[in-house]
C-alpha cells in the first residue's frame, strides 16, 4: 500500500493506492459513515466495480444507495447536476455525510461539485477508476460541470476527504481511455520533470499494455507530483497550479470544437494541446525545435493526437482562439499561456500575443 498525503491545512487528506483496494474499501469508508447509509454515485459502465464496492460495504455492515448516471462528458451538465442533487436530497444526505464518487473524471468532477453546493457543502470521497482520474482528476479538489460557453466554467474548489485508488480497476478500461489518461501522466514530465519524461518514453509501451509495475510507478509518481503542486497553490493564485494546465488552453478549445463529445476525449485534447504548446514555444524561439519534435513523436508513438490534424480540428486559428477567451486563467483581458523552454521546463507566459497564436494555428497541417 502507498499513502500519498495531500497537505492543505485543515483540508488535508490521503491518497491511498493499493491493488485490490476496492474490495477492501469499507475498511476506510466505514469510519466516515457515522452509522448512516452512504450514497455511491457512478456511471452505467461501472457495474462490476460498483458490485465490488457494495459487497465490501455490506460485509462491513454499512448500508449504501447507488445512483447510476449515463457515461460520457455530457454528464458534466446542469441537467445531470440537478438530477444528482435532487436524488442526494431525497436520500437525506447531510453536511456531515460523505458521498462516494466511483468512476472517471466525469463522475468525480460532477459529484465533487454537487457536494460543494449541497446544503452549502457536504463531504465526499473519490474512488477513481480511469487512469486519468487516478493520476489527476481525483486529487486536488477542482470540481466542475461544463456550460454552453465552455469547459469546466461552473465549478468550485472542494477537496475530497480521501482518495482510494485501486489500479486493478483499470483492467476493464478500454484502451482508448487508458491512452487518453496517459496524456496527463506525460504532462507531469513535461511540466518540470525531464527524468520522468525519459521514463515515459522508455516505459509507455509496458504501461499501456497493462504491466502492473509500470502502471504502479506511473500512478504513484503522478499523484505525488500533483499533490506537491496542489499543496503549493491550492486555489491557482500563485502561478504554480497553473502549470497543471499545460496543453489545456489549446485542448479545451479543441474539446469545445468537438462539442464535448467522444469525438475527442479530454486526454486526447490535452495531448494535442501539449504538442501545440511545445510547437508554439519552438516557433517563437523559446524551446529547441528538437524538444518539440520529441514531444510530438512520443505522443504519436502511443497513438495520441500530436496536433490539430490528428485531433480532427477543422476550425481556423481565430475560431479556436475565440474558444480560449473563456479560459479561467484570463486576467484583465490577458490570457496567460503555458509555454516551455524545453522538456520539463514549462512556465506561465503572460505576454503571448493571441494574433500570433491564431497565425501559428493557421500554419499547422490539418
Ligand X SMILES: O=C(O)C(=O)C[C@@H](O)[C@H](O)[C@H](O)COP(=O)(O)O
Annotated binding-site members for NAD(+): 105-109, 129-130, 142, 151, 169-172
Tell me the C-alpha distance between 231 and 13, whole Å: 11
54 binds ligand NAD (CB under 6 A): no
Of these partners, ligand NAD, ligand X, none, which one is at the site of residue 104 (CB under 5 to 8 Å by kind)? ligand NAD
Q: Residue 73 or 184: which CB sits closer to ligand X?
A: 184
Binding site membership for Zn(2+): which residues? 184, 248, 266
Give the H/E segment covering residue 365.
none
Asked whether the beta carbons of 6 and 15 are under 8 A apart, the reply is yes
Of these partners, ligand X, ligand NAD, none, which one is at the site of residue 132 (CB under 5 to 8 Å by kind)? ligand NAD
The reply to whether 241 belongs to the active site is yes
Of these partners, ligand NAD, ligand X, none, which one is at the site of residue 251 (CB under 5 to 8 Å by kind)? none
Helix 194-208, helix 212-232: angle, nearest 10: 140
Q: Residue 73 or 257: which CB sits closer to ligand NAD?
A: 73
Grid coordinates of 263: 469525438
Asked whether the beta carbons of 223 and 4 are under 8 A apart, the reply is yes
Tell me the C-alpha distance between 237 and 228, whole Å: 15
Burial of 154 (0-12, 13-18, 19+ CB in 10 A): middle
Of these partners, ligand NAD, ligand X, none, which one is at the site of residue 248 (CB under 5 to 8 Å by kind)? ligand X
> Computed over its alpha carbons, how large is the radius of gyration of the chain?
20
Rounded to the nearest whole angstrom, what is the least distance from the CB of residue 105 to ligand X in the complex? 7
Q: Residue 109 or 192: which CB sits closer to ligand NAD?
A: 109
The reply to whether 226 belongs to the active site is yes
Tell me the C-alpha distance between 229 and 242, whole Å: 9
Q: Residue 19 or 364: which CB sits closer to ligand NAD?
A: 19
Q: Residue 56 or 130: which CB sits closer to ligand NAD?
A: 130
Question: Which residue among 104, 150, 167, 220 contacts ligand NAD (CB under 6 A)?
Answer: 104
The residue annotated as part of the active site, out of 76, 158, 179, 226, is: 226
Greatest CA span in the chain, whole angstroms?
62
Of these partners, ligand X, ligand NAD, none, which one is at the site of residue 158 (CB under 5 to 8 Å by kind)? none
Residue nearest to ligand X (CB): 152
Tell me the C-alpha distance between 281 and 286, whole Å: 5
- Which of 193, 154, 191, 175 is closest to 76 using CA atoms? 154
How many chain residues bind ligand X (CB under 6 A)? 10
Tell me the C-alpha distance between 249 and 304, whole Å: 17
The reply to whether 158 belongs to the active site is no
Query: What residues line the site for ligand X (CB under 6 A)?
Result: 136, 140, 142, 152, 184, 241, 244-245, 248, 328
Q: Which residues are catalytic?
A: 120, 142, 184, 226, 236, 241, 245, 248, 252, 266
Amino acid at each position: 500500500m502507498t499513502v500519498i498525503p495531500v497537505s492543505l491545512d485543515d483540508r488535508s487528506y490521503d491518497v491511498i493506492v493499493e491493488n485490490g483496494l476496492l474490495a477492501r474499501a469499507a475498511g476506510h469508508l466505514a469510519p466516515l459513515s457515522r452509522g448512516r447509509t452512504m450514497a455511491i454515485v457512478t456511471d452505467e459502465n461501472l457495474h462490476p466495480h460498483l458490485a465490488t464496492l457494495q459487497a465490501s460495504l455490506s460485509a462491513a455492515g454499512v448500508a449504501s444507495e447507488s445512483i447510476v448516471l449515463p457515461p460520457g462528458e455530457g454528464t458534466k451538465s446542469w441537467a445531470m447536476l440537478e438530477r444528482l442533487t435532487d436524488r442526494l436530497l431525497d436520500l437525506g444526505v447531510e453536511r456531515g455525510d460523505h458521498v462516494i464518487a466511483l468512476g472517471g473524471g466525469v463522475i468525480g468532477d460532477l459529484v465533487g461539485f454537487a457536494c460543494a453546493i449541497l446544503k452549502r457543502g457536504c463531504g465526499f470521497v473519490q474512488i477513481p477508476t480511469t487512469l486519468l482520474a487516478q493520476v489527476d482528476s481525483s486529487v486536488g479538489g477542482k470540481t466542475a460541470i461544463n456550460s454552453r460557453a465552455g469547459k469546466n466554467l461552473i465549478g468550485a474548489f472542494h477537496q475530497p476527504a480521501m482518495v482510494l485508488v485501486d489500479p486493478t480497476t483499470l483492467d476493464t478500461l478500454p484502451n482508448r481511455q487508458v491512452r487518453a489518461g496517459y496524456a496527463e501522466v506525460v504532462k507531469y514530465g513535461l511540466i518540470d520533470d525531464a527524468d520522468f519524461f525519459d521514463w515515459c518514453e522508455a516505459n509507455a509501451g509496458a504501461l499501456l499494455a497493462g504491466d502492473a509495475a509500470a502502471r504502479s510507478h506511473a500512478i504513484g509518481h503522478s499523484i505525488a507530483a500533483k499533490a506537491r503542486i496542489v499543496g503549493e497553490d491550492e486555489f491557482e493564485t500563485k502561478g504554480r497550479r497553473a502549470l497543471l494546465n499545460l496543453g489545456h488552453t489549446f485542448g479545451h478549445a479543441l474539446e469545445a470544437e468537438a462539442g464535448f463529445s467522444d469525438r475527442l476525449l479530454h486526454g486526447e485534447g490535452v495531448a494535442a494541446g501539449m504538442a501545440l504548446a511545445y510547437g508554439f514555444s519552438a516557433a517563437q524561439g523559446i524551446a529547441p525545435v528538437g524538444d518539440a519534435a520529441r514531444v510530438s513523436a512520443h505522443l504519436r508513438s502511443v497513438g495520441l493526437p500530436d496536433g490539430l490534424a490528428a485531433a480532427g480540428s477543422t476550425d481556423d486559428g481565430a475560431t479556436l482562439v475565440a474558444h480560449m477567451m473563456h479560459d479561467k486563467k484570463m486576467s484583465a483581458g490577458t490570457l496567460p499561456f503555458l509555454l516551455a523552454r524545453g522538456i520539463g521546463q514549462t512556465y506561465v507566459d503572460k505576454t503571448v500575443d493571441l494574433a500570433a497564436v491564431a497565425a501559428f494555428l493557421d500554419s499547422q497541417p490539418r
